[in-house]
A and B are shown apart, each in its own frame.
Chain A
Amino acid sequence: MTNELLGIALIYGLAVLSAYPLGKLIAAVYAGRPNVMDWMAPLERLLYRIGGIDPHRRMNWKEHLTALLTLSGVWFVYGFILLQTQGSLPLNPDGNPSQTPDLAFNTVISFIVNCDLQHYSGESGLTYLTQTAVVMFFQFVSAAAGMAALAVLFNALQTQATDRPNNFYVYFVRSITRILLPLSLVLALILAFNGVPASFEGKDTVVTLEGDTVQVSRGPAAGMIAIKQLGTNGGGWFGVNSAHPLENPNFATNVAENVSILLIPMALVFALGFYLNRKKLALSIFLVMTVGFFAVLTPSLTAELKGNPAIASLGIGQPLGSMEGKEIRFGAAASAFWGISTTATSNGSVNAMHDSMTPLSGAMQLLDMMINAFYGGVGVGLLNYFIYLIIAVFISGLMVGRTPEFLGRKIEAREMKIASLVALLHPLLILAGTALASHLRVNAPQADWTVRPAGWLSNPGFHGFSQMLYEFTSSAANNGSGFEGLSDSNFFWNYTTGLVLILSRYLPIVGPIAIAGLLAGKKYVPESAGTLPTDNATFGLMTFAVIFILAALSFFPALALGPLAEYFSLP
């Protein structure tokens, strides 16, 4: 067990150690300061010329958002067409069919919004063309879009006007050329050398030791798996994602992939400090996130290492912890750590089946996605955190008797209106979606659909409730992992989660950017002795309390009826 814990300590340590210098680089990239990636500049200039973009044009917050939404619109049409025609397009050695409209809708949306909810299995549901030109392409651009949105926030939070780049397309292109592409290349090489396939050939035929002949799917997977982890996407090449031996062959690749999952979300927090030259603020945000991360990790880790009480009550020893649904090459601790890392960072990849984990782990993974800001998805995690921060600034500003202000700008009614709406959206989407599904399951079990509501759940009862809750939570958090056991590739789930995906991606980006834009337009108030410092432990505690109380109050009844009821019902 000690070794297992050391294994996860190694992952966490490596992630933090590499995130710090990466954060410095990211800040330099967005601030237009000289950096080691400047040799990419000619390629970027070429891209701007092709796209007809003037990289020196300065944008206001509305223009930034227009750019983001325009890009997304173009991608939607492009992806939708390719997925619906993939069966008759080239690079389809396994002869997979085109997707149905509802599935194509869900798939395109889910990848554009950096969620990667997969209602299909990559081996049979996509072709090599769509895996690379749609899925992998979207994994790059959606991650870059999130990061660019965060760069907009960085720029708006400066206390003085500067001549740093302030163009969405510049942020977007540089995120890919200078951060995502080089990092992906490194990780893809590591993966490929460890046995992850990188081939355009179709299924391989293998004769097993028992003499059976099996068809093994493969493809140019290494590159996609790299960006899937680095860009907090999570959509795997194979259906079972990083639990698949060809997607995550050994403990070393598991370490490399898990570090990549945490890397950029952590680095962006440090980047905030370097960009704004407020390292103490970045550190305090990082510590709040870290405390939160370990607060959800600990119960999950403990529960998985202790084993399943239901099995223990049968008199069966579980020296390796609870191993149901886990890979023996990773073990209980690394699987629990992966589960919390991915749900924290809205990375939907899995290396074990969350559905099979103990109820407490399920509760913690759900809570992680309900909060969705402990490191969080690339770019968007910090944007989500910003909303909590604004609410914390407001309440604590009142508590010290001063009109609340953040980084020298006053938080007033308009900012609170936006922050309240964004904070409200997450519970609305999760709870309303789950309520609708619960209602249909009870009142229309035999509704005339291909998959009737009665057949949705593999385990009715508390666990079935958790499955529905998890599906909507994962969609609303733009996470993309599934509790599985839920028959989700059908009309109801494809459309409802697709809708949730769109709303939960764009409004939480629009909100913080709008707030930052409004704040940037206000008069800068220099700090005085009466100003509440937002970069110390006291304020960190306040933010933490706001995050936890908001999440707990919104989701406590739902968690009580799902995983908590299951947990308390265990022997």
Chain B
Amino acid sequence: MTPSTSSSAKRVARPHRSSLFKAALRESFLKLNPALLIRNPVMFTVEIGTAVMLLVTVYIALSGETDQGTPGYNFAVTAVLLLTILFANFAEAIAEARGRAQAESLRKTRQETPAKVLPADGGFSPDQVRVTSSAQLRKDDLFLCETGDIIPSDGEIIEGLATIDESAITGESAPVIREAGGDRSSVTGGTKVLSDRIIVRVTTRPGESFLDKMIALVEGASRQKTPNEVALTILLAGFTLVFIIVCITLQPFAVYAGTPITVAALIALFVCLIPTTIGGLLSAIGIAGMDRALRANVIAKSGRAVETAGDVDTLLLDKTGTITIGNRKATRFYPAPGIAPVDLIRSAALSSLADETPEGKSIVELAGPEMTRELSTAGATLIRFTAETRSSGIDLPLNGSARPAGRPNGLRIRKGAVDAIRTLVRRANQTFPEETDAQAKAIAANGGTPLIVTENEQVMGVVELQDIIKPGIAERFERLRKMGVKTVMVTGDNPLTARFIAAKAGVDEFIAEAKPEDKMNYIRREQAGGKLVAMMGDGTNDAPALAQADVGVAMNSGTQAAREAGNMVDLDNDPTKLIEVVEIGKQLLITRGTLTTFSIANDVAKYFAIVPALFVASIPALQQLNLMRLHSPESAILSAVIFNALIIPMLIPLALRGVGYQPIGASALLRRNLFIYGLGGLAAPFVGIKLIDLIVGLLI
């Protein structure tokens, strides 16, 4: 992963390294328990081999038999085998410890928080408030939060509005506003109310919050294996079985050839051949993947979701906030023919005075204080924007104070997109001036958004709104394209504007004039074609699409419905986070694939170390297979098992970090990884075993 994709939020501080290390070390021994180890068939067989070697060593020490080699040699082999398992256990333990520490530091903020519970029937007077611990909360309980309170549980605001500090979760220090109704009604446990009071309904059962789910994903014992991991485990078990067959049948072969093999040599050969490297690191790789997601401030509800992200073909992104910075700004007024500029500006400003949207505010700003000072909207009815009418505005009363001269009958001012207003105008049997239409098209062609303003269904003119595209976004889309992911921009803009922004930002497709159901239809269509679709959303409107998408990332600021529907929650509310998640998913698979290749390629060299050592005593001709010219049969076998054990801890950092993903095309990536991990896997043990043999040769 490149640093450029990391989010701006600051990360939660990690516990000190040495305490993690110590905890992991202790865990490595506890994990020797066969009942736990059986989940990992490869390492489980190593444990059986170790147990057999232990018995043999004890037997030799007691009986003084010499056929099986010296007690010291046998003990050495046993010890190295035990070390192999401990290293593998340590890999899993350290990954778990890191993940758990990450999750704990999030969870710590939410434990033992006092909760002000209200009776369910509603009577919200302060004397009915009962204070309990957050752990006592049940789903659908109501609680009250006032200035300075820590919110005790995830929930949905049912009454009130508050500014909330979410830095404990997101690391972002700027407070956010949450209010009942609408798309910003959900709150997260552990965050702090900075002002005002809210009443919140608990939405999760204790132990079922997203964090609890995430913690389960980084615990080796309770972790559900992902589908790809299951398939790989099967393949590795297959390899293990092949080598069981190879080693068991080797004994009668050797007896026929007149060279009985010692138990130590046979078990050493077996352990060297089975894919212990990937077998030992597999679990750690999976946990580390979840940990990486957590560190990117993404809470995944399952490992499967993260893995699926790596396979995504199509990515749906909202234009606003993702591709463009915040919102559009009004930049110019274009009056319709026969309308004085000042009339248009006044209408536009009037309709926007009570309009809290950023676009509305920017119109008031553009109109200037001189114009707006004299206007008043007292007694007016505000017409909110809806997805259906796709226009908003204001109705001024008949004799309102704001009544302009010469217009005795009150005013209906509307502003909206061209097609929405055109419908409105036509319905009133008015004409839509061609000049205005042309002006609107010209604005749209330049990437702006034309907003038509009408007074009593008469077109007054156009307001030009302009978008500002986020810097660096085009590069990220280019990266996605190289990964094979198609980007689709979803916007309410008209097709002309949408095309301009799409081209400028470098997205592959766009859905213009999108209604909520368009997203859903698009996802369904892509999925019918076999594509995997990811999307990010925050509103309740998005919930069905989030649920339909293969990877649905809900923003933490989104509604409870959205957060329930998605399979990941992004704590940073960063719409480009999906790109990071896709890469985490890919890295997970790549790390498993490359280490499998490395592990299996290693076997070739191990054969050339051990097979000659087994038979050279009675078949001197096989000395020619001893390519590494190892010191003696005993040192060859010991060196091979030592190499086999040491390679595990040496690869732990790689397993935890993940093998980097590069969007250079699948074939090029395969070539690159095959070269590094395949060829490297062939060569490394020749060098490693030879070096270890030089040292071991001195000792025995």
Q: Does B66 contact A (CB under 8 A)?
A: no
Are A395 and B597 in contact (CB-based, < 8 A)?
yes
Bound CA span A561–B618, Å: 11
Interface window among A70-78, A84-92, A371-379, A427-435: A427-435
Bound CA span A438–B678, Å: 35
Q: Does A413 contact B (CB under 8 A)?
A: yes
Are B242 and A424 in contact (CB-based, < 8 A)?
yes
Main DSSP-derived SS at the B contact region:
helix
Contacts of B667 in A (CB 8 A): 532-533, 536, 538-539
Contacts of B79 in A (CB 8 A): none
Q: Does A302 contact B (CB under 8 A)?
A: no
Which residues 246-272 of B sit at the A interface, judged by CB distance below 8 A?
246, 248-257
Across the A-B interface, give the 10 residue pairs with the lowest CB-CB distance, nearest first: A530-B484, A398-B593, A420-B238, A401-B586, A529-B484, A568-B621, A399-B593, A435-B249, A438-B256, A431-B249
Are A427 and B234 in contact (CB-based, < 8 A)?
no
Which residues 630-675 of B sit at the A interface, judged by CB distance below 8 A?
661, 665-667, 669-671, 673-674
Q: Mark A275-289, 1 if CB is under 8 A from B, else 0.
A: 000000000000000
Q: Mark A213-234, 1 if CB is under 8 A from B, else 0.
A: 0000000000000000000000
- A427 with B246, Cβ < 8 A, contacts A398-B589, A401-B669, A531-B666 known: yes
- A428 with B245, Cβ < 8 A, contacts A402-B311, A412-B231, A420-B235 known: yes
Chain B residues near A (Cβ < 8 Å): 227-228, 230-232, 234-235, 237-238, 241-243, 245-246, 248-257, 273, 307-308, 310-311, 313, 481-486, 529-532, 585-590, 592-594, 596-597, 600-601, 603-604, 607, 611, 614-615, 619, 621-622, 624-625, 661, 665-667, 669-671, 673-674, 677-678
Q: A549 contacts which of B227, B251, B604, B615 (Cβ < 8 Å)? A: B604
Chain B residue at minimum C-beta to C-beta distance from A553: B603
Q: Does A181 contact B (CB under 8 A)?
A: no
Contacts of B232 in A (CB 8 A): 394, 398, 416
Contacts of B661 in A (CB 8 A): 401
- A435 with B252, Cβ < 8 A, contacts A395-B593, A399-B594, A545-B678 known: yes
Bound CA span A394–B670, Å: 12
Are B242 and A554 in contact (CB-based, < 8 A)?
yes
Bound CA span A400–B98, Å: 26
Q: Does A190 contact B (CB under 8 A)?
A: no
Are B590 and A553 in contact (CB-based, < 8 A)?
no
Bound CA span A297–B663, Å: 40
Q: B600 contacts which of A411, A529, A549, A565 (Cβ < 8 Å)? A: A549
Chain A residue at minimum C-beta to C-beta distance from B625: A560
Which residues 520-536 of A sit at the B interface, judged by CB distance below 8 A?
523-526, 528-533, 536
Contacts of A441 in B (CB 8 A): 256
Are B589 and A402 in contact (CB-based, < 8 A)?
yes
Q: Closest Cβ of chain A: how far from B628's Cβ, in Å?
A: 15
Are A401 and B310 in contact (CB-based, < 8 A)?
yes
Are A524 and B530 in contact (CB-based, < 8 A)?
yes
Are B674 and A399 in contact (CB-based, < 8 A)?
yes
Q: Mark A545-558, 1 if CB is under 8 A from B, else 0.
A: 10001001110111
Are B666 and A424 in contact (CB-based, < 8 A)?
no
Are B249 and A432 in contact (CB-based, < 8 A)?
yes
Q: B592 contacts which of A391, A398, A552 (Cβ < 8 Å)? A: A398
- A560 with B483, Cβ < 8 A, contacts A399-B594, A434-B253, A438-B256 known: no
Q: A442 contacts which of B255, B485, B592 (Cβ < 8 Å)? A: B255
Contacts of B311 in A (CB 8 A): 402-403, 530
Q: Does A179 contact B (CB under 8 A)?
A: no
Contacts of A545 in B (CB 8 A): 674, 678
Are B252 and A413 in contact (CB-based, < 8 A)?
no
- With A396-B593, A408-B530, A431-B246 known, 10 other A-B pairs at CB within 8 A are A400-B670, A400-B673, A403-B307, A427-B245, A439-B255, A441-B256, A525-B531, A525-B532, A529-B481, A545-B678
Chain A residues near B (Cβ < 8 Å): 391, 394-404, 408, 411-413, 415-417, 419-421, 423-424, 427-428, 431-432, 434-436, 438-439, 441-442, 462, 465, 523-526, 528-533, 536, 538-539, 541-542, 545, 549, 552-554, 556-558, 560-561, 564-565, 568-569
- A564 with B622, Cβ < 8 A, contacts A398-B592, A413-B227, A424-B238 known: yes
- A439 with B252, Cβ < 8 A, contacts A394-B235, A399-B590, A533-B667 known: yes
Contacts of A541 in B (CB 8 A): 674
Contacts of A553 in B (CB 8 A): 242-243, 246, 273, 600, 603-604, 607
Are A538 and B670 in contact (CB-based, < 8 A)?
yes
Contacts of A531 in B (CB 8 A): 484, 666
Are A401 and B589 in contact (CB-based, < 8 A)?
yes
Are B246 and A396 in contact (CB-based, < 8 A)?
no
Most buried by A among B585, B586, B619, B677: B619
Are A526 and B530 in contact (CB-based, < 8 A)?
yes
Contacts of B588 in A (CB 8 A): 401
Q: B252 contacts which of A438, A525, A536 (Cβ < 8 Å)? A: A438
Contacts of B254 in A (CB 8 A): 561
Q: Closest Cβ of chain B: how far from A392's Cβ, in Å?
A: 10
Bound CA span A417–B661, Å: 28
Q: A402 contacts which of B253, B482, B586, B615 (Cβ < 8 Å)? A: B586
Bound CA span A552–B601, Å: 11
Are B669 and A564 in contact (CB-based, < 8 A)?
no
Are B670 and A399 in contact (CB-based, < 8 A)?
yes
Q: B241 contacts which of A424, A439, A525 (Cβ < 8 Å)? A: A424
Are A532 and B670 in contact (CB-based, < 8 A)?
yes
Contacts of A435 in B (CB 8 A): 248-249, 251-253
Are B231 and A530 in contact (CB-based, < 8 A)?
no
Are A401 and B228 in contact (CB-based, < 8 A)?
no
Are B256 and A401 in contact (CB-based, < 8 A)?
no
Contacts of A565 in B (CB 8 A): 257, 615, 619, 621-622
Q: Closest Cβ of chain B: how far from A66's Cβ, in Å?
A: 26
Q: A465 contacts which of B238, B243, B246, B256 (Cβ < 8 Å)? A: B256
Are A560 and B615 in contact (CB-based, < 8 A)?
yes
Q: B238 contacts which of A423, A442, A532 (Cβ < 8 Å)? A: A423
Contacts of A424 in B (CB 8 A): 238, 241-242, 245
Contacts of B252 in A (CB 8 A): 435-436, 438-439, 442
Contacts of B585 in A (CB 8 A): 401
